Amino acid sequence: MSYDDEEYEDDQSGQAPGLSFGQLALSGVLSSGYRKLGMLIEHLETRTYEMQIMGSTGGPRPRITADWVLKEIDKFAQGLGKWLKVAGDDKAEILKHSIGSRPLTEHKTMVEFGSFVGYTATRMGRAVELCYEKGYADGSILFEDSRLQGANRITSMEIDPVHACIARHVLDMSRLSHIVEVWIGQVKDLIPRLIEEHGEMSLNMVFMDQRGTTFHDDLSQLEELSLMFPNCRIVADNCVKPGSPVYCWHTTVSERYKTTNYSLNEFLESTIEDWQVVCDYLGPLAGVPAAGRPSPWEAPRGEEWRSYPIRDLR
């Protein structure tokens, strides 16, 4: 991050211009991108305050919900924040369908690579919340069986700590912190933690929205650690702009994946084409002839069973 020397000349009081006690000026200290994100938070906080004022005038107090937060972010992106690029419009519909087609079961979870402002994480968390509300209503899910208390069902990873804090704040406003958890760090370093938290074959859906040039590396790591449950759905965004050519090639030619490439417009940009690649992981043995598959009762070559003498415990 670069700083402007003229903006950081201290005055006689020893404070930088524009700073007050307990308040940090946005100019200079934070980059331009962070200042823009501050505008988003200001918009959400202002609208929340207006909702509270409406409730104190005698009428029913409006409830701040995840759907309301998503709509407010959409309004901000369509007006003052046209620079805010989130997975909205057609991309949101594809993501919504993908979430609905992969309902969560016991010990299954979802993961998102790249939180940004928590827009997609909020949408995913709301879908899970609706799934459980329906289960509670018809009696198919008991609260003690939902594993929501102390066991987050969606994990979102973000390398930028400022973005992660904003995403957590948005999730708090949406009342989804008990469902979605945001981890800070690089995806390649956090993927092994999924094994520790949830175990093997625990992922039911993966949403990739990080840097496209690392899509294939992160997918390969998921395969090596056996994290994806068979028929795990993987949705990758921005596969044309900025682009992820190696990932698109791998998921298309590999027999382990059943892939569909959706061509659609960038969010609020009718002249810019982008792709969302949706693929289903068929399993590690997909495409392998039955004759070549190892038998579960046969040990791999070089690892034949050996007999060990029983230790004399006397």
Q: Is-contact 146 132, C-beta < 8 A?
A: yes
- What's the CATH number where 133 sits? 3.40.50.150
127-186 residue pLDDT tens: 888 877 777 778 766 655 555 444 567 899 999 999 999 999 999 999 998 889 999 999
Q: How many C-beta neighbours within 10 Å does residue 264 have?
A: 15
Q: What are phi and psi of 128, to 5 degrees?
A: -65, -40
Please give the residue range of the domain that contains residue 195: 32-53+61-284
Percent of the chain with pLDDT over 70: 69
Segment 76-103 shows an average pLDDT of 75
> Does residue 249 or residue 78 have the better pLDDT?
249
pLDDT, position 310: 40
Average pLDDT over residues 202-212: 87
For residue 242, is the peptide bond before it cis, meaning its omega torsion is within 30 degrees of 0? Answer: yes
Quote the DSSP letter at residue 306.
Answer: -
Q: What is the pLDDT of residues 264-273, one digit of tens each?
A: 777 656 677 7
Whether 80 maps to a domain, the answer reads yes
**Considering the domain boundaries, does residue 27 fall inside one?**
no
d(CA 34, CA 216): 29
pLDDT at position 94: 82
Which pLDDT value is given to residue 92? 77
Rounded Cα gap, residues 97 and 90, in angstroms: 11
Q: Which residues of 219-238 are buried (b: 16+ CB within 10 A; e: fewer)?
A: bebbeeeebbbeebbbbbbb
* Structural domain contains residue 271: yes
In order, the DSSP letters of 224-268 are HTT-EEEEEEEEE--IIIII-HHHHHHHHH-TTEEEEEEEEEETT
With respect to residue 310, please indicate whether it lies within any of the assigned structural domains. Answer: no
Mean pLDDT is lowest, of 85-94, 108-117, 158-167, 174-183, for 85-94
| Structure confidence at residue 88 as a pLDDT band (50, 70, 90) | low
Q: What is the predicted pLDDT for the residue at 111?
A: 93
Q: How far apart are CA 142 and CA 67, in angstroms?
A: 24
Q: Contact 17/7 with Cβ under 8 angstroms?
A: yes
Number of domains the chain contains: 1
pLDDT at 55: 64
Residue 14's pLDDT band (boundaries 50, 70, 90)?
very low
- Of 90 and 252, the one with more pLDDT: 252
In a domain, 311, yes or no: no
User: To the nearest whole percent, how much of the chain has pLDDT over 90?
Assistant: 27
